[in-house]
Structure 1
Amino acid sequence: MAALGDDPELVRIGNCSGFYGDRLSAMREMLEGGQLDVLTGDYLAELTMLILGRDRLKDPNLGYAKTFVRQLEDCMGLALDQGVRIVTNAGGLNPAGLADKLREVAGKLGLHPKIAHVEGDDITARAGELGLGNTLTANAYLGAWGIVECLNAGADIVVTGRVTDASVIVGPAAAHFGWGRTDYDALAGAVVAGHIIECGPQATGGNFAFFTEIPDLTRPGFPIAEIRRDGSSVITKHTGTGGAVTVDTVSAQLMYEIQGARYAGPDVTTRLDTITVTQQDTDRVLVSGVTGEAPPPQLKVSLNTLGGFRNEMEFIVTGLDIEAKAALARHQLDAGLTVRPAEIEWTLARLDRPDADTEETASALLRCVVRDSDPKKVGRAFSATAVELALASYPGFTFTAPPGDGAPYGVFTAGYVDAAAVPHIAVLPDGTRAEIPPASETLALADVPEPALPQAFPAGPTTRAPLGRVALARSGDKGGNANIGVWVRTDDEFRWLVGALTVDQLKVLLPEAAKLTVHRHVLPNLRAVNFIIEGLLGQGVAYQARFDPQAKGLGEWLRARYLDIPTEFLA
């Protein structure tokens, strides 16, 4: 056991990165803004692993988040002076390489931090034998115990590869309190705290549906989890920073990129239906009551492959007869292609409006996307054919961008392997390699039966209005699937919501989902329903099946749709 702060009953963990490319100054802001015991950073997403995979193809010494190195060049001395431990997954595909780079940086700065790393998640070389196919990257989601081992060995800085996003928070909490591997409720509470703060200012008002309620979003502060011995936590931020921490900003992040009521991880399966969220004070939200179960016997694996090559041309269509003009362009391009790509997708975005007072608002966008395994079929053979129509097509013909060659695109899929088949190794500051065994107690993942729904809200006067007048939402991606979490603020509104926003109603409101499989999960403690829309995003973010490939705006589209809402809710 290694205490990470002065208070044996509490550990104060801040986060300074929610993605690769987040605010560069956030590490210094967090270190200078107030007291911390641990500072974490989440740099990895499904798309990031593909980006790092391409980096590694160009240079085998790369494969980690280079911005993290820049942050530590600036802040390593500050963190050491304050005794703040740093834990991050910025190692990406090359945690050992990042650890070596940080030692090089420390030497140049005249500093002597104890640096450790966690490895074993990269199973790319064994993907075929494990039944995962031929991949560019294959990384199993490891848990928190390698991080615990490194911290217990005195590491000041711990870098990992692909661990679950919450693991960089769970590890320090488990090390501080000396939790065991079957302390499921405490571990689950830390997972929830980690899930809330892992995306940085999304927990302090960023990307928040009722954003006009947030007093200052100029530069929202990054979040902090004050985790207690029982796994409960208070979510907060440094005093004087922008944004806000409220029940709703915390709930918004809780609803982000989740599936059902069971949230599986390599260390614990967290029951999201047990979470209680309470406003304790200004910018202080208590998260409590979380229960956990044994983890499943398999680990999830992030698989990225090169799916082929893609290109697109976007036509501007202005004024009258939009549909006829678009049909002419489609017919001409289709007839002119001498080499046909394997996939051709057309979309017409009717952004125009009648009698528009600007040319832009009188225009629609006609987009053609092509994909093929042969780059020649989606290169100039495609874009040049589109350009040749410039003087021979509909009136006002023009493009949003010049033609170009096709570019490779990636495909993300999730695989699963037995946990025992994946090494989990903590490389300690002195170079010792400690093997972390898989969980000895596991429980197969199963759906939670839908809870008893509240009594229906009584019929009464209704008004046709946007759902977002009453409800908040947050949406995101998981591979090719999208999730939309929708929640309300009062019990009566929840009684109405669960009856009104069914799967069938969602398909009416979002016609793009009408022919897809949609699942609904009800979370009464959060007054929420969460929808999973299978296949909406094609083969993942890099495939770019929609103009919003990560479904970030999907919840806001839903909130803008009209339905009959009890009039009393709209007062």
Structure 2
Amino acid sequence: MFLRKSPFTGAKWFAQSISRKRFLSSSPSDNVRIGCFSGFWGDSCTFASQQLVNKGSIDFLVGDYLAEVTMSILAAMKKKKPELGFCPDFFEHLAPNGPKIVEKKIKVVVNAGGLNPDACAKRLGGLLQQFGLNLKVASVVGDDLINQGIKLPEIEGIPYNTMNCYLGAEPIAKALDNGADIVITGRCVDSALVLGPLIHRFGWNMNEFDKLAQGSLAGHIVECGAQSTGGNFTDWHQVPDYSNVGFPIVDVQPDGVFKVTKPVKTGGLVSFGTVAEQMLYEIGDSQCYALPDVNCDFANVSIKEVAKNEVEVSGAVGKPPSSTYKVSATYIDGYKATSMAPMIGPNAAQKGHLNSMSTIERCEKIFSKMGMGSFEEVNVECLGSGSNYGKDIKSSSAKEVVVWTSVRHKNKAALEMWAKEIAGASTGMAPGFTTLVGGRPKPTPILRYKPFFYPKDLVNITVDNAEFTNSNTEFSPVQPQSQPETIIDVVNEGECSFRLEELAFLRSGDKGNSANLGIICRNKSLYKALDSRLTSAAVKEYLSFLGEDLVVTKYNLPGTGAFNFVLDNALGGGGVASLKTDPQGKAIGQIFSDFVIEGLKEKSCYLS
């Protein structure tokens, strides 16, 4: 993803509009307000940052740009031009806010450095200096293990494309301690963008684990931008004015207790449901959410609505972190291509499926003659027929569908041939084929995600070109422990049945080839009844269409009245490796909202 205009343009605008004032710190006894303007590379370009700076009364402005897939895209950029490899959107986000950022003494922390934080920092710093501005831009470097020359065994002879460890918050705090006005990092855990400023401002020690857990939870709540203020929310119909959705702010006390809110006179919603959903988003073991600075126990977190669009969060417990970093590595494993074609008319799903499979069979006959081998994987879905719910296409009565066909092959030329052949269905196969959305599909590399762990003391970190050493490597590590699910008898309460969405909020997301499904009781009095019905076995049976290798593990969060289900092997490889229409598990929560809970009393009985 590139800007339509040169990133120098935005940076020049920013530089010209900034005064020479330096940022100042408030008293350590004051609350700290941190606003997050970006949840991913591609989020709202200038809208969110302007809103937070102008209306948020914030001390820090943070932005998250990186995901596993993003690192591979940045690697391709850097391979073509070594001076790139960072997220150029950062300049455009920052540009319109220069005067207000300095006037209001706001510091900025982002991971927009991607695979080249030094280059990103130097680009911005050089432009500021060019206009006579004395602002300190610091970089945190060291997450890129390939750049450090670390050699690991290749996968079936394939070298790694990227290999980045998730750094923690302490290097960010160090950069701020050294007087940085803007801190640019590479790959770090998303929550560190918030925890780092809190460590810096409050002077927290790295063994105050409960405070670190609370600060990490604050970061986790806001790291996906508007996803905690009404975006992607179960009760979407109750969220006002998505066109002006408010981006999240955490107002943090020195003891770590915080409130979640948003700028005044903005749309969106901050409620128990929006915050609880985000807490469960993309976590695993709720009693041991492992981060570089602290292992977090969220099982007994309390989430309370204290005012309109203001929610207080407390109760996170911290334990010593492990002595290793989690590493996200990717490697190229062949190619994939995807087509989308509307089909209209009676038996649309059946005709669309026939056309797609007939084209695949035709190509495989050609491949056989050319010695190319068959497709390694094929996925055909007829959107609108219930295929994402595991329904049989043969039974569909849909009269209009979109046929999604995604194929994988080691040989790029094989996919280019398939892309040419698929258009022939419009004249040579079943009727109703109207167009190829976006034209003929183009093959793209498949990037496989491989996580592993690497000793912290072998990773070389620098903060603003000075060597940095973590202070928390001395603590005894706490490793996640498996917690067998307690099977209890179904609670017999009544004769009523409900769709799960009537009783609970739901949120799902991804981590590589795994997904998580968070379920939060709308009223905690439902917790016991739902706990007995929402078992791993029941969830696996309902979602069995996700694949034969699906493994479901359940974790309980009684403090919030919630459950987290980790769904391993659910996403067909996940990210850009997946051929599914939902490679990041975003729709799983919506699909599971139709799960039927039986044997309850009337809903009014649970509202005491």
Q: Which residue of 1 aligns with 2:408?
A: 371
Q: How far is 1:275 from its partner?
A: 1.3
Cα 1:478/1:244, change in 2 over 3 Å: same
Structure 2: gaps (5+ residues):
1-22, 368-372, 387-396
Q: Distance in 1 between matches of 2:279 and 2:429?
A: 50
Q: How does 1:87-166 map to 2 (within 5 A)?
A: 87-125=109-147, 129-131=151-153, 134-166=159-191
Cα 1:333/1:71, change in 2 over 3 Å: closer
Aligned with 1:482 (options 491, 506, 515): 515
Deviates more, 1:405-414 or 1:515-524: 405-414
Q: Distance in 1 between matches of 2:580 and 2:191?
A: 28
Q: Distance in 2 between matches of 1:451 and 1:240?
A: 45
Q: Which residue of 2 aligns with 1:260?
A: 285
Cα 1:59/1:400, change in 2 over 3 Å: same
Scaled by the length of structure 1, what TM-score is found?
Answer: 0.91
Q: Distance in 2 between matches of 1:247 and 1:272?
A: 15
1:28 lines up with 2:50 in the alignment: yes
Q: How far is 1:103 from its partner?
A: 1.0
Aligned with 2:436 (options 392, 400, 404): 400
Q: How far is 1:323 from its partner?
A: 6.7
Deviates more, 1:138-147 or 1:343-352: 343-352
Q: Which residue of 2 aligns with 1:308?
A: 334
Specify the SS of the correspondent of 1:518.
Answer: strand
Q: Distance in 2 between matches of 1:556 and 1:42?
A: 25
1:512 lines up with 2:548 in the alignment: no
Q: Are the equivalent residues in 2 in contact too, given 1:475–1:485 (CA < 8 A)?
A: yes
Structure 1: gaps (5+ residues):
354-359
Q: How does 1:198-217 map to 2 (within 5 A)?
A: 198-217=223-242
Q: Which amino acid aligns with 1:525?
A: G
Aligned with 1:286 (options 309, 312, 316): 312
Q: Distance in 2 between matches of 1:98 and 1:313?
A: 36
Q: Which amino acid aligns with 1:549?
A: P
Specify the SS of the correspondent of 1:507.
Answer: helix
Q: Which amino acid aligns with 1:419?
A: K
Q: Which residue of 2 aligns with 1:460?
A: 494
State the Cα deviation string for residues 337-364 of structure 1 (Å, max 9, x = none).
Answer: 31144423132426259xxxxxx95123
Cα 1:471/1:78, change in 2 over 3 Å: same
Deviates more, 1:155-164 or 1:75-84: 75-84
Q: Distance in 2 between matches of 1:452 and 1:522?
A: 10
Q: Distance in 1 between matches of 2:240 and 2:363?
A: 55
Q: Which residue of 2 aligns with 1:174?
A: 199
Q: Which amino acid aligns with 1:52?
A: L
Q: Paired residues, what number?
A: 559
Q: Are the equivalent residues in 1 in contact too, given 2:37–2:63 (CA < 8 A)?
A: yes
Q: Are the equivalent residues in 2 in contact too, given 1:508–1:514 (CA < 8 A)?
A: no
1:413 lines up with 2:450 in the alignment: yes
Cα 1:336/1:56, change in 2 over 3 Å: closer
State the Cα deviation string for residues 237-283 of structure 1 (Å, max 9, x = none).
Answer: 22222212111111011011011121001110000113111122222
Q: Distance in 2 between matches of 1:475 and 1:186?
A: 27
Q: Which residue of 2 aligns with 1:14?
A: 35
Q: Are the equivalent residues in 2 in contact too, given 1:270–1:290 (CA < 8 A)?
A: yes
State the Cα deviation string for residues 159-199 of structure 1 (Å, max 9, x = none).
Answer: 11111101111111011111111111110110001100111
Cα 1:365/1:282, change in 2 over 3 Å: closer
Q: Distance in 1 between matches of 2:357 and 2:514?
A: 29
Cα 1:457/1:403, change in 2 over 3 Å: same
Specify the SS of the correspondent of 2:188.
Answer: coil
Q: How far is 1:147 from its partner?
A: 0.9
Q: How far is 1:320 from its partner?
A: 4.1
Q: How far is 1:549 from its partner?
A: 1.2
Identity, % of aligned positions: 30
Specify the SS of the correspondent of 1:551.
Answer: coil
RMSD: 2.6
Q: Which residue of 1 aligns with 2:256?
A: 231
Q: Which amino acid aligns with 2:514?
A: N
Q: Which amino acid aligns with 1:334?
A: E
Scaled by the length of structure 2, what TM-score is found?
Answer: 0.86
1:529 lines up with 2:551 in the alignment: no
Q: Distance in 2 between matches of 1:223 and 1:418?
A: 34
Cα 1:5/1:361, change in 2 over 3 Å: farther
1:250 lines up with 2:271 in the alignment: no
Q: Which amino acid aligns with 2:322?
A: P
Q: Distance in 2 between matches of 1:421 and 1:437?
A: 14
